[in-house]
Amino acid sequence: MGRKPDAVAKPHYSGGGGASSPRTARKAPPSPVFLGTALFVLGFVSLFTGHVVTDADWSRIRSRWRSKQVRIYEPIDIWKSRYSSIYYGCSGRSTNFRSAVPENSSTGYLLIATSGGLNQQRIGITDAVVVAWILNATLVVPELDHHSFWKDESDFSDIFDVDWFISYLSKDVTIVKRIPYEVMLSMDKLPWTMRAPRKSMPEFYIDEVLPILMRRRALQLTKFDYRLTSELDEDLQKLRCRVNFHALRFTNSIHTLGQKLVRKLRLMSPRYVAVHLRFEPDMLAFSGCYYGGGEKERKELGEIRKRWDTLPELSAEDERSRGKCPLTPHEVGLMLRALGFGNDTNLYVASGEIYGGEETLQPLRELFPNFYTKEDLAGDDLKPFLPFSSRLAAIDFIVCDESDVFVTNNNGNMAKVLAGRRIYYVL
């Protein structure tokens, strides 16, 4: 802010606190010119201070006015975002972005062991490519998690098109399917194994990881999820986009079945809502929330919580008041109806095991009778995928990604990845 105008001096009257002395000479009244000048200055000061207040409040006033205008003149289209035109995907390589280092002159072979479910692993794979670029390393196709809660034995090539992954990123990072046999024979020791701290800066990889990689020729980073900071420069963020939105393409069998389910939904209705419903027992137990199931629920979820030694004691009431509790299927249905989706809306529900089973789902089914899952739509086509939770999750991912509206009852990894894709690909 600029300087305030100088204050106008008040006329000073001499004399004591009582009546004026008869000996005190009576002063002449102020001239009209003086009064006019004083009023003008005071008016100008008021105008200035009023203008400052107006600037401070202008954004609130304008947003209220615009919201009223929207309500009156622009009915909300529940199937389309009004602000989609302001987003665009941005992943092109800059002209000065360093190209991939050839395998025979790289700093070594970087092996990555991902962690978690499909979308958590997807985030780890994306960051693994960026870390390999930072280290000038040759990346070995990442190893998927076979030992977590999902117990899925799928390898990278069972879910993603590995040849496309390697070729699409060939200008950025050299990627191989495995360490060459002759290199393994020439190594004195097995690859070194270490775990990077969460959200590590690029400097950590250069200072702590690179010396070991160059000394040992091969290094494995374990439990690789969220091990790279989001505070990267623009070129590395663009590389992340190239990996996540272009290089990670599902295998033909997964893609074909996912698109088949989308076509079935489109034949029934031109539009559908996809709901990613995370309401599995382990997730509810981890949240520390209470869902109205009485002592039976408290006991069952309490037993599951004992699987994690480091979970803090949580107050279910406090967690709900903070908005940390995943919505129940019934609450999701009520929210959709409140937003304007009628009971004739086609609803695709992507979920794992629902705590409480059909009894928990029944209120949502009653609100939206046109309720479908991959099991409903795929029939026998789903049988080859049933033993593999990550492949089932990939099918759900495709149907949710193609939906007109995507809704989630929690802010998990799938919700984050899909939200990013929808912003990136919006037209």
Based on the fold, state whether residues 193 and 240 are members of the same structural domain: yes
| pLDDT at residue number 23 | 41
Which of 247, 270, 298 represents a domain boundary (last residue)? 247
Based on the fold, state whether residues 342 and 237 are members of the same structural domain: no
Looking at the domain assignment, is residue 202 inside a domain? yes
The Cα–Cα gap between 328 and 334 comes to 10
CATH number of 337's domain = 3.40.50
For residues 83 and 427, the answer to whether their CB atoms sit within 8 Å is: no
Which of 197, 223, 247 represents a domain boundary (last residue)? 247
Which of 247, 263, 292 represents a domain boundary (last residue)? 247
Looking at the domain assignment, is residue 310 inside a domain? no
Total number of domains constituting the chain: 2
Based on the fold, state whether residues 238 and 383 are members of the same structural domain: no
Based on the fold, state whether residues 168 and 259 are members of the same structural domain: no
Tokens representing residue 91 in the block = 């992943």
| pLDDT at residue number 81 | 80
The Cα–Cα gap between 175 and 137 comes to 9
Choose among 203, 265, 266: nearest CA to 231. Answer: 203
CATH number of 212's domain = 3.40.50.11340
The span from the first CA to the last CA of the chain, in angstroms, equals: 41
Based on the fold, state whether residues 243 and 114 are members of the same structural domain: yes
For 73-77, which contacts have Cβ atoms below 8 Å and span 24 or more sequence positions?
Answer: 76/340
Domain residues for the domain of 191 are 103-247
Looking at the domain assignment, is residue 77 inside a domain? no
Based on the fold, state whether residues 234 and 258 are members of the same structural domain: no
The one-character DSSP state at 196 is P
Specify the amino acid at residue 56: A
Looking at the domain assignment, is residue 338 inside a domain? yes
Q: What would the DSSP string read from start to end of 371-422?
A: EE-HHHHHGGGGGGGTT-HHHHHHHHHHHHHTSSEEEESS--HHHHHHHHHH
Q: What is the pLDDT along the chain (427 residues), one digit of tens a residue?
A: 444 334 333 333 333 444 444 444 445 555 655 656 655 555 554 544 444 444 445 455 555 555 555 455 567 788 988 777 787 788 999 999 999 999 999 999 999 999 999 999 999 999 999 999 999 999 999 999 998 877 899 999 999 999 999 999 999 999 999 999 999 998 888 899 999 999 999 999 999 999 999 999 999 999 999 999 999 999 999 999 999 999 999 999 999 999 999 999 999 999 999 999 999 999 999 999 999 999 999 999 999 998 888 888 889 999 999 988 999 999 999 999 999 999 999 999 999 889 999 999 999 999 999 999 999 999 999 999 999 999 999 999 999 999 999 999 998 999 999 999 988 987 4
Based on the fold, state whether residues 121 and 209 are members of the same structural domain: yes
Based on the fold, state whether residues 195 and 269 are members of the same structural domain: no
| pLDDT at residue number 51 | 43
The one-character DSSP state at 15 is S
273-277 and 347-351: which strand pairing? parallel
Tokens representing residue 270 in the block = 């031109």
